Structure 1
Amino acid sequence: MSYLMGIDLGTSGVKALIMDLEGNIAGKGKADYGIQTPEIGYAEQDAGQLWNATVSSIKQALSDSSIDPSEIKSIGLSGQMHGLVIVDNKMQPIRPVIIWPDQRSKKQIDSIYSIAGRQRLRETTLNSLSTGFFLTSLMWIKENEPDNYRKIYKAILPKDYIKFKLCGVISTEATDASSTAAFNTAKRCWAFNLIEETGIDADYFPEIGESLKISGTVTKECAGQTGLCHGTPVIYGGGDTLMYSVGTGIIKPGIVSVNIGSGCQTATSVNEPLYDKEFRTNTFCHVKNDLWLIIGGHLNGGITLKWLKEKMFPNMSFADFDVRAKEINAGSDGVIFLPYLSGERTPYHDPSAKAILFGLTLGHNCNHIIRAAMEGVVMAMRLSLEIFRELNIPTEKIVASGGGARSDIWLKMQADIFDAEICRTTSCEEACTGAAIAAGVGAGIYNSIEEACSRIVRYSPEVTYPDKESVKVYNEAFERFKLLYCNNLNLFT
């Protein structure tokens, strides 16, 4: 038989999935890792640990599947976006990876805007600068770690470091590159004029490929480490938000994806490089040359509940959270949680934003806090849906993915807070599935991404519907949610 492998390099762990050509899962593997915070506002990971975890997850998937590695016809990649890996001329990482929740580069944002022009940069990249973005992190290294900066041979994104370890090729592709803030998103190429104006060396930037093409083949060294077959094609793949979109069938306009992972993304496909004129959202390249993805990016999804569990309720499980949240009314009896533990992107692009727990009285308990935190994550995502509606983007069909699709209470919150029907796929690993689909298209097993998705992506017959009374409660709470940020803005800095 023939199989495909998808690898998803996430923020808290890496997953590997093996599936047959109809999307039936043959084997899975997973390895976890943490985020290093050497200083407040920093978020880093060790590149070697990311690779070791990838090796472990591949081995697990192969063992779980019991197939011959030669039956894997192609491998595709998905990975956390925006982050920065710098390597020297021996392809060794120079320092820890700076990843997307990092907040150290606030001053560099102002500096880059003053050099390149805020509006000009935005209209070229179709995005606003944010802390944790590739370009702002690279500028921070240039200004604060000059010795490390001078050692750079190439600057790449996290998943592309994993791709290099698999096939020995240093390169990236348009979906991930468009998340760097150094990319001409409409023309799908590096914005070298802007890069050179900032004083960053243009030679540091890798070659650009396309998501559905072969980047290289598994090397002998990689085969020895992982058990994969030497010579297996490795496809570029894409950023995790894009691979989530592929894995949920969001490859044409008309469907909105809402994904709750460590962070959250609200996304939909468009046939032109559409962008919000206020640049509250992001526009990234999709996997096809004539397709883009407009995204609301939110920094505080599952990471909010993880913080709540570890710091506030260490004796509870996430399953306990679901049970306790169900005991509380919609709207948490007036308690509102503004979940900006890591600042926020859409719509504010404010790394200084803070979390707020509002409305507590003597009559509230820990269950109210848990439910309010879950509701706050979804309300933050509603801000993106509101922007989509302003742009006349249809939002009637919404597909949930990630942790938010595996929790009945979180699905119900999404239906009620969004006032929309929520469906989900039958897959639990949408990003891995998307990467495996890309692998199949890139290897020529499927004639197109449309054919691949039609064969593999399946939707559950169960649909979660909004409740009119809960919608009313949440509409009122949402107005207070927005005011909490606006009325406390001056206190965040």
Structure 2
Amino acid sequence: MKNKILAIDLGTQSVRAALVTPTGQIEAVALVNHEVDSPHDNWAQQSPVEWWMKVQQVVKELLSKSKIICDEIAAVACCGQMHGPTGIDSDGNVTTLMSQLWCDKRNQDIVEQVRSSHNLENLMKITANPPTTGWVGMKVKWEKENRLDVYNRSKWFLVPKDYVNFKLTGIAATDPSEGSGTYLWDCEREQYSEEMAKLLDIDVSKFPPVFKSYEIIGKVTKEASEKTEIPEGTPVVAGGGDFVVSLLGLGLVEPGTAIDMTGTSTLFVFQKQKPIIHPSVQNLHHVLDGWIPFIMLDSGGLSMKWMKDVIDVATEEKITFEKLISLAESIPPGSDGLIFYPYLLGERNPDNSGAKGIFLNLTVNHTAAHMARAVIEGVVLALAREIQNFRDLGVPFKKVILTGGATRNKLLNTLKANIWNVNVTVTDEPESSLQGAGLLGALGVGLIDSISKIPTSGKNVIINPEAELVEKYKHIAKMFNRFYNHMIGYWM
């Protein structure tokens, strides 16, 4: 009986595959790691050829370890790291050996040119987004200006999961979550905008047709079947961007809940029927209906890793994250006046790319433990500053679900409740993107008969804010924001 979905997640640090039931249960998982290549400052790239090899490897490993009968696979559903364009020529071959990733900022000059030459308010009315380095259209514009031969030879520009789908089916397609991340997307008409393509001077026909995320785009070809061992003819749905798909796995199918996703970076997201048009807010289309407004801190979890690495070098002792947290917990709330600004990778939202990391109020009385706590507090304070924008815009949320690798940091979880003054729920679902992809596949082939019947994941620990600490952190947040505003004119 065909009752399993083969879910694939092509992430930045790994490629994962899982077998998922129609109720969202993961039965088996396989993983293969890969690296990011950074040959120059602000560059981040990977090989699309290697992506496809890793997909073959991880799928074969999954099917072998699970001992599944391949006839049980009802569909394939892919998700993946977003916004990185791979050029494909008319013969189906890649036009460049390395693809720009979502975090690549080599196109900063192009973004600045758009910002300085156009009415941003009018552009946001079309795209629902401020111009940033992350959008696919900005990256394709860089290809045209710097590698014209690559641009001209490319019939399609496909983001990572769409490239995998192309290799599986031979069909170029995308979905609304990725379409809305091109900076060529008309948020009202929900289609590509000729006006935005003309503004960027790129050919909109190089971007693939858009399907619903759960819509079948094609079937596994004979060649792909031989390489992956997925049965020929297996339906493949369009899928979606990894972070948007993971929200489905976490149960974000209706408004009223916010989700914090902290790994290397931090995303704070909502669901609304319409996008929030604001310079500090980015918007992506949900893989179902509606929109996902979000804010992003590029160096959320990264700031904590940086602090750990600094202490490693200073003490010549390899410390764990558990030790870092223990050091931080030995210091009182507020870090005895020490404040950290976690902008180690600049800032994307708003596009204050020149922002830098800062320790404020550092004295001889502060120790490594103070610095550890200040870093963790600083990540939450930086997010609080942006979350206030949502509150000022009247966006209601009753609770925040915490997910991502950083949820193992209990101090961080508690700080989020107290600094944001909101109830937080720590989820126990470590594979929400694979789970969400599986649900899209199940919906696409009719194993789930309606969107309303998509199950939501279970949650576990609930943390409530403490009134005394809420008041203390309110005063610290005011100082954080005041100095941030002062520094905007000095960061370069």
TM-score by length of 2: 0.92
- The answer on whether the counterparts of 1:218 and 1:229 sit within 8 Å (CA) in structure 2 is yes
Q: CA deviation at 1:442?
A: 1.1
Deviation (angstroms), 1:218: 2.2
Root-mean-square deviation (CA, aligned residues, Å) is: 2.2
CA contact (8 A) 1:258 1:401 kept: yes
Structure 1 residues 304 and 186: CA distance shift in structure 2, 3 A: farther
The answer on whether the counterparts of 1:266 and 1:384 sit within 8 Å (CA) in structure 2 is no
CA distance in 2, matches of 1:286, 1:411: 26
CA change 1:419–1:430 in 2 (3 A) is same
- In structure 2, what is the Cα distance between the partners aligned to 1:381 and 1:63? 43
Equivalent-residue separation in structure 2 for 1:50 and 1:311 (angstroms)? 32
Give per-residue Cα distances to partners, 1:352-401, cap 9 Å, x unaligned. Answer: 22222333322323233333222222223223321221121112211111
Q: Which residue number in structure 2 is paired with residue 331 of structure 1?
A: 334
Aligned to 1:5: 6
* 1:26 and 2:32 are equivalent in the alignment: no
**1:313 aligned counterpart, secondary structure:** helix
SS where residue 104 of structure 2 aligns?
A: coil
The equivalent of 1:259 in structure 2 is 261
SS class of match (1:253): coil
- Preserved CA contact (<8 Å) 2:311 2:368: no
Task: Tell me the amino acid that sits aligned with residue 282 of structure 1.
Answer: Q
Task: Return 5+ residue gaps in structure 2 as ranges.
Answer: none
Contact 1:73-1:233 at 8 Å conserved across structures: yes
1:360 aligns with 2:362: yes
Aligned residue identity for 2:93: Q
Deviation at 1:309, TM superposition (A): 4.2
Which residue of 2 is the match for residue 466 of structure 1?
Answer: 465
Change in 2 beyond 3 A, CA 1:333/1:58:
farther
Instruction: Tell me which amino acid in the other structure corresponds to 1:406.
Output: R
Q: Which residue of 2 aligns with 1:216?
A: 218
Q: Which range moves more in the overlay, 385-394 or 205-214?
A: 385-394
- Alpha-carbon distance in 2 for matches of 1:479, 1:394: 22
Tell me the equivalent position of 1:286.
286
Which residue is 1:486 aligned to?
485
TM-score (structure 1 length as normaliser): 0.92
| Aligned partners of 2:17 and 2:62 also within 8 Å | yes
For 1:313 and 1:450, the matched residues in 2 are separated by 49
The alignment partner of 1:7 has SS state of strand
Could you give the per-residue CA deviations for residues 292-331 of structure 1, whole angstroms, max 9, x where no partner exists? 1111122122233344445653622333333333333333
- In the alignment, structure 1 residue 102 sits paired with structure 2 residue 104: yes
Mapped contact 1:11–1:262 kept (Cα < 8 A): no
SS at 1:128 equivalent: coil
Change beyond 3 A, Cα 1:11–1:477: farther
Pick one of 340, 350, 353 that aligns with 2:352.
350
For residues 248 and 445 of structure 1, the distance between their equivalents in structure 2, rounded to whole angstroms, comes to 19
Counterparts of 1:84-99 in structure 2 under 5 Å?
A: 84-95=85-96, 96-99=98-101
Distance 1:189 1:361 in 2: 55
Go from structure 1 to structure 2 and tell me whether the alpha carbon gap of 1:161 and 1:312 turns closer, same or farther (over 3 Å shift). Answer: farther
C-alpha contact (below 8 Å) 1:12/1:32 kept by paired residues: yes
- The 2-side partners of 1:5 and 1:369 are apart by 44
| Structure 1 residues 443 and 8, CA gap change in structure 2 (3 angstroms) | same
The letter of the residue matching 2:208 is P
Partner of 1:182: 184
Q: Is residue 400 of structure 2 the alignment partner of residue 398 of structure 1?
A: yes
**Equivalent position amino acid for 2:304 in 1:** L
Greater mean alpha carbon deviation, residues 252-261 or residues 336-345: 336-345
Q: What SS is found at the alignment partner of 1:319? A: helix
CA distance in 2, matches of 1:311, 1:135: 37
Q: Provide the C-alpha distance between the structure 2 equivalents of 1:190 and 1:41, rounded to a whole number of angstroms.
A: 28
- 2:344 alignment partner, one of 323, 341, 345: 341
For 1:324, give the aligned amino acid.
L
1:200 aligned onto 2:199 = no
Query: Are the equivalent residues in 1 in contact too, given 2:78–2:239 (CA < 8 A)?
Result: yes
Match of 1:131 among 108, 111, 133: 133
Any conservation in 1 of the 2:79–2:245 contact (CA below 8 Å)?
yes
Partner of residue 250 from structure 1, selected from 249, 252, 269: 252
CA deviations 1:396-436 (Å, max 9, x no partner) are 21111112333322211211121111113331111111111
Give the stretch that moved more between structures: 3-12 or 237-246: 3-12
Equivalences, count: 486
SS of equivalent to 1:490 = coil
Q: Which moved more, 1:427-436 or 1:102-111?
A: 102-111
Contact 1:116–1:197 (8 Å) recurs in 2: no
Secondary structure of the 1:142 match is helix
Letter in 2 for 1:432: L
Amino acid corresponding to residue 344 of structure 1 in structure 2: E
Q: Give the whole-Å Cα distance in 2 for the aligned partners of 1:188 and 1:167.
A: 25
Q: What is the aligned partner in structure 1 of residue 296 from structure 2?
A: 297
Deviation at 1:59, TM superposition (A): 3.2
Q: Which residue of 1 aligns with 2:175?
A: 173
Letter in 1 for 2:475: E
Given that 1:88 and 1:153 are in contact with CA atoms closer than 8 Å, whether structure 2 keeps it comes out as: yes
The alpha carbon displacement at 1:114 in A equals: 5.9
Aligned to 2:168, the other structure's residue is in SS state helix
The one-character-per-residue Cα deviations of 1:427-478 (angstroms, maximum 9, x if unpaired) are: 1111111111111111111012321224xx2222x21112223222322222
Structure 1 unmatched ranges of 5 or more: none
- Equivalent-residue separation in structure 2 for 1:351 and 1:442 (angstroms): 40
Note closer, same or farther for the CA distance 1:221–1:475 as it changes in structure 2 (3 Å cut).
farther
Question: Do the aligned partners of residues 116 and 173 (structure 1) sit closer, same or farther apart at CA in structure 2, a change above 3 Å counting?
Answer: farther
Distance 1:325 1:29 in 2: 35
Paired residues of 1:98 and 1:132 also in contact (CA < 8 A): no
Which residue in the other structure is 2:438 paired with? 436
- Say if 2:240 is the partner of 1:238: yes
- Note if 1:15 corresponds to 2:16: yes
Segment of structure 1 superposing worse, 81-90 or 435-444: 81-90
- Code of the residue aligned with 1:342 in structure 2: it is L
Could you tell me whether the CA contact under 8 Å between 2:23 and 2:455 is conserved in 1?
Answer: no
Work out the CA distance in 1 between the residues paired with 2:382 and 2:52.
33
* CA 200–370 in structure 1, closer or farther in 2 if over 3 Å, else same: same
Distance 1:323 1:162 in 2: 42
Counterpart contact for 1:35–1:44, Cα < 8 Å: yes
- In structure 2, give the amino acid aligned to 1:412: T
1:412 is aligned, of 406, 414, 421, to: 414
Partner AA of 1:23 in structure 2? G
